[in-house]
Amino acid sequence: MSTPLGTGDLDVRVGTMDGRCTVTVVGDLDTLSAPVLGGCLAEVLDHPDVRVVELDLCGVTFLDSAGLTVLASAHRTAQRAGQVLRMRCGTARAVLRPLQITGLAGVLSVIDARP
């Protein structure tokens, strides 16, 4: 699924294989685009056969409070359903810094963040 938005573009792609799902996000994750990712993650996490979701945020260029809210909400949803939600953000400062500032880096499962 790719979704162009008026104030920037957010590209969300989903791939599923053997109970694992990868959601790749590229672009600005802000007030306008966060609902797109939120809807996508809700749909993915609603599938009982999906056990592990890996959220690739390496291509995110901006992350605001609306985006952080979507990530925290998806984390809670996955926990309640017994699913694993892991986030890959590489060295993307645009993602790592907001996660660190808010303390979410210690709550969410970030699998490849570098200090």
What's the pTM value of the predicted model, to 2 decimals?
Answer: 0.88
Does residue 2 surpass a pLDDT of 60?
no
Helix (H, G, I), strand (E, B) or coil at 113: coil
How much is the pLDDT for 113? Answer: 53
In angstroms, the CA 92 to CA 1 distance is 22
* CB 2, CB 13: distance < 8 Å: yes
Backbone angles phi, psi at 102, to 5 degrees: -85, -10
Please give the residue that has the higher pLDDT: either 91 or 31: 31
In angstroms, the CA 40 to CA 12 distance is 8
In angstroms, the CA 49 to CA 64 distance is 31
Share of the chain above pLDDT 70, in %: 90
Beta strands in the chain (DSSP E): 2-5, 8-17, 20-29, 52-63, 84-88, 109-110
Q: Whole-number mean pLDDT of the chain? A: 89
Give per-residue pLDDT as tens, 60-104.
999 999 999 999 999 999 999 999 999 999 877 899 999 999 999
Query: Can you tell me which residue has the tokens 């060295």?
Result: 91
Please name the fold of domain 6-110. Transcription Regulator spoIIAA (3.30.750)
